[in-house]
């Protein structure tokens, strides 16, 4: 029996860097698991649409799909938008929605990778304050997850870690940078907890003007690709069990 198709569901953006980054990440996932068919669909702005991909798969005779939200927290898109799109899928498809990517220790490793690529070293950790800069959400569950990630990351040796948000919630990146300065951290770094460039990551970058280091977005880092595959494997077991029932 062939493995279920992995459908990566991205939000989409008018910014062409977003789709380019999503496609780069999907290429890395394919390179890690050439035995798994991986497709990409977008909720908005970009093509192919999620609905279009699902209809094409059904036409080809595919029956089993794992739909994986390319999201870091369980906010509105994961709880409402994506389930609504999947509910309208062709009825012959058996679809299992995988969990969102975060939180995961691998994502913390990806954040540190980006900080080191931006110029920090492990020896800098104890004297560096980090702003964990998220896109933001009006969903309290998502905000609580970001705050918990910041607390957990602080315990790995950083001088301090503060969450910040580009929209919907406070504090903003620039406010968290200022707070870490006032705490007396020798240097301040901003780590965007976002997957791809776009409007809100650009706002994070502007808010990082007073920091010493600004890391890149997570993008197609190997750790993110591994998290995608972990979520896929966790979701595909119930799909296969249902097929065999």
Quote the CA–CA distance of 120 and 226 in Å, as a whole number: 24
Question: How confident is the model at residue 1, as a pLDDT?
Answer: 66
Residues 40 and 12: their CA atoms lie apart, in Å, by 11
Residue 127, number of CB atoms within 10 A of its CB: 12
Element spanning 96, H or E: strand 94-97
Minimal CA–CA distance to 200: which of 133, 122, 131? Answer: 133
Model pLDDT for residues 200-219, shown as the tens digit of each residue? 999 999 999 999 999 999 99
Residue 75 has pLDDT above 70, yes or no: yes
Q: For 198, left (φ over 0), alpha (ψ -120 to 50), or beta?
A: left
Average pLDDT, integer, range 19-45 = 98
Confidence of residue 244 (pLDDT cuts 50, 70, 90): very low
Give the whole-angstrom CA distance, residue 114 versus residue 110.
6
Locate 128 and state its tokens: 């560096």
Q: Tell me the pLDDT tens digit for each residue of 116-126.
A: 999 999 999 99
The total of other beta-carbon atoms located within 10 Å of residue 35's CB is: 7
The pTM assigned to this predicted structure is 0.94
pLDDT range class, residue 78, cuts 50, 70, 90: confident
Quickly count helices (H) and strands (E) in the chain: 9, 8
């Amino acid at each position: 029996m062939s493995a279920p198709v992995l459908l990566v569901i991205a939000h989409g953006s008018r910014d062409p860097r977003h789709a380019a980054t999503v496609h780069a990440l999907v290429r890395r996932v394919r390179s890690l698991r050439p035995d798994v068919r991986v497709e990409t669909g977008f909720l908005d702005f970009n093509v192919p649409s999620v609905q279009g991909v699902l209809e094409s798969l059904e036409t080809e005779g595919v029956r089993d799909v794992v739909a994986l939200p390319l999201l870091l927290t369980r906010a509105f898109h994961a709880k409402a938008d994506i389930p609504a799109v999947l509910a309208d899928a062709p009825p012959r498809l058996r679809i299992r929605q995988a969990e969102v990517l975060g939180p995961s220790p691998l994502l913390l490793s990806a954040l540190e990778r980006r900080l080191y690529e931006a110029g920090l070293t492990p020896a800098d950790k104890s004297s560096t304050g980090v702003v964990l800069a998220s896109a933001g959400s009006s969903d309290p569950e998502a905000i609580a997850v970001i705050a918990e990630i910041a607390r957990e990351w602080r315990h790995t040796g950083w001088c301090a870690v503060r969450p910040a948000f580009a929209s919907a919630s406070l504090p903003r990146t620039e406010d968290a940078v200022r707070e870490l300065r006032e705490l007396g951290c020798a240097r301040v770094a901003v780590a965007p907890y976002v997957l791809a460039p776009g409007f809100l990551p650009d706002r994070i970058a502007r808010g990082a003007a007073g920091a010493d280091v600004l890391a890149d977005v997570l993008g197609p880092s190997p750790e993110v690709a591994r998290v995608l595959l972990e979520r896929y494997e966790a979701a595909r077991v119930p799909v296969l069990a249902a097929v065999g029932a």
